[in-house]
Each structure stands twice: as C-alpha cells, then as structure tokens.
A and B are shown apart, each in its own frame.
Chain A
Amino acid sequence: MRLALRELIRRPGRFVTATVILTLIAILLMFLGGLLDGLTRSATGAVRAQNADALVFSSSSQASFLRSRIEPEVRSTIETDLGVETGGLGVAQLGARVPGNGPRDLANVAVWGYEIAPDGVPEPPPPGEAWADEVLKADGVEVGQELLVGPARTPITVAGFVVDTSFNGQAGLWTDVATWRNVLNTNRPDAALADGVFQALVVRDVDDELDDVPAAIEDAVGDQVIALTVDEAVNEIPGVTEQQGTFNQILGVTVVIALVVIALFFALLTVERTALYGVLKAIGARSRTIFGGLVAQAVAVTLVASVIAGLAVALLDLAIPPGSIPLFISPGRIASSIVLLLFAAILGCAFSLRRVLHIDPASALGSSQ
C-alpha cells in the first residue's frame, strides 16, 4: 500500500486525468444533491417546522391545504375527546408586490395564519404584520417594508425574518389568523373560509398520553378527517416525492458514471502495469497487496477529488445570493456524496481484481519487455 501511495506522490501526473474527471463528477453530485435539498426545503419548510404530533385535514382533501376544511365542531370533538391542544392553520399562496423593486417586483409568497407557533417562528405578530422567510431578502424585502399581497394588494408589513419556512417554493409570511383570513377571503374568494373554519389543525399531545396521535384522532372523529404525522404530511405535499425520486435517480446515474470512470481508469492502469506486477509477484508480492494498492490509489484520488469538489461547491453556495436558486449545501450532503464516491471507487477497482489475480509471476522471467 505504501508503494502505491508513493507512486501517487511521485507520479501525480498519471492520476491527473482521473482526478479532474472525478472532481467534475463530484461537483455535479454535490451540486445536484444541494439542489434536491434546496428544492425539498423550499417545498416543505413550512410543514416540517410545525410543532405537531399530528396535522389534521378533511378527508376528501388528500392533505391539500387549499382543498381542506376543518369545521369548529370537528376541532371541538378532537379537543374534548382526546384532551389534546389544537391550533388552526391555513395558507394562501399568492403573489406579493415589493414596492421599489423595479419592474420585477412580484415575489411568490405563502401567507400563513397560525395559532401554535412552528419551530423557529415567534408567536403571531400584530394584525397586518408578518414574519417573513429570509428567502424574500433576495427580492429586496427588508424589515418594516410593506408588501402588497394578491390581486387585492392587501398590505402586510414585515416584522422580522425567519428561516426555512417556505412552502411549495413560495416564501412564508407568518401572520395572525385574522390577517391570514382577510388575505385569503379578499384575494381568493373561491377559497374563502368563515370565522372558526381552518384548512388544517395542528394537534399537540401536550400531556403525552396517546401512543399514536393520528390514529386516535381518526378514531375520535371518524372518516371526516385524515390525520398525519409531520413526516407523512411532508410527503403528501404535491411533487415532493416525485421530485426526490427524480433527483435520486439522477444522483444514482452520476454515481454509476463515477464507478465506470474509476473502473476503466484502474483497469487501464492495471493492463499498463502487468509487467511490473509480474515482477513484484515474482519477488514475493501477494495479489491482495497489489489489489490493496490499487484500492488505496482509487480511494486517495477520490478523496482528493471530493475535497476539491466540496470546497468548490461550498464556495459556489457562498457566492449565490440566498433565494436566487434553491441550493442548500450541507456538510451531511457533502459527506454522503463522498461516501457514495468512495463506494464507487472501491467497487470500480473490483473490476481489476480478476486481472490482478491472473497476472503470472512467471511472466517476469524470460521476458525482455
């Protein structure tokens, strides 16, 4: 293995091609992973942030906020029968004018009305104000600025910023229930809701008495509602599962390409070194020592490529203004990409194992090559 690493150090030129190609593949893998994470965050942040044991929707809504209606009687039954805390929740997905932002002054927003504060969101602000998701900073939104929401241009003033609360790619604006209802009824009369009616309920088992909160809710209310955990509700958001599936397939193909590149490179290297390996075997090298050296070189090349790619993607993330594209680079994503590439490197080398095993030490004798 030391022999192989010494070759890497002394003859780095031989490995430059593989390192460059692997670096590009690693950048692609990490960038695509970052895009997937960013898209998932921007689609699911508002639901993931819910401080809930269950989210309740009407049964015919297919967990869509817009289609769902929870009447006050249903809420009352859940609270009375189960002894849980509930909070009304609703959203209106609209466009918001950002005054002074030039000709492109329209920002996509999801105006939320809430009673139980999600994680990272303060208690509801005064009427007419909202906590805004920080991605709106990319649209030039500042604290104290007044946004004009929807076709009715309902004014909402930004009270402060919160993080990771977007929904379906639209920046969260977190308001008290009355402001949200006013925005919804004024701008989306087709989806207007009467006082006391919400699109969904946030349910918290504060006394921790129920084993399975969603099941207990469905037992108590019957088939009028569907109750989901937060994770289940995240997966019910339209497009999220499909988006993750598509991206994961692209990531999988990228890893396979990395594997093929490594397999081909080290297969060629093994062919090129057949005579040398024959000599090494003749003087006592075992096949496993030679193959271990190949794996060590593949792992080292992959690690170098991964580190360069990780740094490049991190710099790219810093250079891109928040909210301009849904890119989220996390240490976890970089680490998992490196693990996948290392796996591909080791598996790619395995294609050379048969060739290494078949190199005959006798080839070293009687050969002038």
Chain B
Amino acid sequence: MTTSMTHDTSATRPALHLRDVRKVYRVADADVIALDHAELTVARDEIVALVGPSGSGKTTLCSIAGGILSATEGSILVGDEDITDYGDKQLTTFRQNKVGFVFQSVNLVPFLNARENLLVVDELGRREGRAARERADRLLEELGLTDRAKNLPGQLSGGQKQRVAIGRALMNDPELVLFDEPTSALDTELGQQVMELIRSEMKARGTSAIVVTHDERITDYCDRTVHIVDGVLAA
C-alpha cells in the first residue's frame, strides 16, 4: 500500500518546481537582478520552451534548475529533492544523479569516442560499471549511433554530435534535462531533426525538459512556451 501511494505521488509530482526564486548578482556596488520572483512548474513528461532575448535570465534559470547555481531567494524542488539549501558538494552529487545537460556548443570530450562520452557520466558519478555500459549501448542504439560508437567527436557530423550529447544527458536517467540552445549550431533542417529526436526521446522516457532557445520555431516541438524578459517569467 505504501509503495503504491509513493508511486502515485511520484507520478503526479512535478519534475521541477521553482517557487519565488530570485537571483541577485553583486556587480561593483550595485545589485543586478538576473531572476526576479520566478515561479515555474514543469510537469512530468512535459517539454517547456524557455524563450527570451540575450541577457534575459534564461541561462540563470537553467543553472539554478540544474543545480549549477544557488538561488538568492526562493525554493527549488527537482522531483522529490529540495535543493534550495544544498552546498557545492551536494549540488555536484545532485547533478551526477538527477539532471542532464545538453550544451549550446555540444562540448563532447574530444579524445573520447561516442560510447566513452556517454560513459564519462558514470565514471564521474555512480560508477555502475557493466550496467552503465549496457545503458550506453542501448542509448546509442536508440539514437541510431551504434555504428558510430567508436568514432571520436571529430569524426562525427554536427547532428551526430548532438545525438551523442543527448545520449550523455540521458545516461544518468535524469528527472529533468536542460537543453541550452540545442539547435543554434545546426542548419534549419538538422535543427528540426534534432528537435524531433529530443521530443521523441523525452516522451519515450517520460522525462521532462526545458529547452532554452531564441528560435520561436523550436517552440512547436515543445508542450508549452515560457517567455522571460529581464529576469521576469511570463507564461
């Protein structure tokens, strides 16, 4: 019974809940508000597009949601974990286990092949060994990269690199994946293919995602769009 209730709670619990989050930077003698009383809830299985101009606070929001930055005020819940008061070590452990990142410039480790780029997540974190290797192989297969598993990033096309980066973000079976301008380095057609892939992979796993973008066309692949201007969120 307890298990069932826990399961039910888990199923309905949001993947991310930001409550009244503020981030203030101290620059010289002035306070710069990067994020102002942000309220955001991302449901399970939901893909949210976060759209806004440069300097609007998109990256700050993502960094806080991903446990890279701490908020000045407010609370941050990722799944069942309240990371509001976490210190650096706890945030590092949290990032190892609960979130995935896909960066703007892909940023694969250049001297590791595609498979090893996925396994690096396990090497830095859980160290599951064989289970991780099996998971990496499965992800590569799902992403259509099995025959590219031994290739170094320099031997992969832009789209293939992005797929490897998506695989790396999914290696720790995260609650939430944060995509930072995932298509900005790709042409329109490839960008659409990557977004289709992101959507299908997220939906297939029931994983939530925030996709940071300038490009309004990307929002078509997301369930909801949230705009941010000057650190203020507007649905």
Interface residues of A (CB under 8 A from B): 2-3, 6-7, 10-11, 275-276, 279-286, 289, 361-362, 364-369
Contact = CB atoms under 8 A, between A and B. Distances in A.
Contacts of A361: 68, 95
Given A362-B69, A365-B59, A366-B59, A283 B109 contact: no
B107 A276 contact: yes
Given A362-B68, A365-B59, A3 B104 contact: no
B204 interface: no
Nearest to A9: B111
A241 B105 CA distance: 62
A284 B121 contact: yes
Contacts of A364: 68, 101, 103, 107
B182 to A, nearest CB: 12
Contact of A283 (B69, B111, B124): B124
A289 B124 contact: yes
A38 B116 CA distance: 51
B184 interface: yes
Contacts of A367: 103-105
A365 B62 contact: yes
Interface of B: 58-59, 62-63, 66, 68-69, 89, 92-93, 95-97, 101, 103-105, 107, 109-112, 116, 120-121, 123-125, 168, 172, 178, 180-181, 184-185
Nearest to B93: A284
B109 A362 contact: no
Contact of B111 (A10, A279, A281, A284): A10
Contacts of B92: 281, 284-286
Contacts of B59: 362, 365-366
Given A279-B107, A283-B168, A365-B62, A3 B123 contact: yes
Given A3-B120, A6-B111, A368-B104, 8 more contacts: A3-B123, A10-B111, A276-B109, A284-B92, A284-B96, A286-B92, A362-B68, A364-B68
A2 B123 contact: yes
B87 to A, nearest CB: 13
Given A283-B168, A364-B103, A366-B59, A3 B109 contact: yes
A88 B9 CA distance: 99
Nearest to A1: B123
A283 B105 contact: no
Q: At the interface, is chain A mostly helix, strand, loop or mixed?
A: helix
Contacts of A289: 124
A279 B124 contact: no
26 contacts: A3-B120, A6-B112, A7-B111, A10-B111, A11-B111, A275-B107, A280-B124, A281-B92, A282-B68, A283-B120, A284-B125, A285-B92, A289-B124, A362-B69, A365-B59, A365-B62, A365-B63, A365-B101, A365-B178, A366-B59, A366-B104, A367-B104, A367-B105, A368-B104, A368-B105, A368-B181
A287 to B, nearest CB: 9
Interface centre among A7, A279, A281 (most CB of B within 10 A): A279
Contact of A365 (B112, B180, B185): B180
A18 B131 CA distance: 38
Given A3-B109, A283-B168, A366 B123 contact: no
B184 A282 contact: no
A356 to B, nearest CB: 14
B100 to A, nearest CB: 8
Nearest to A10: B111
Contacts of B109: 3, 276, 279-280
A268 B172 CA distance: 32
A7 B93 CA distance: 25
A2 B120 CA distance: 10
Contacts of B101: 282-283, 364-365
Contacts of B111: 6-7, 10-11
A357 to B, nearest CB: 10
A365 B102 CA distance: 9
Nearest to A281: B92
B132 to A, nearest CB: 13
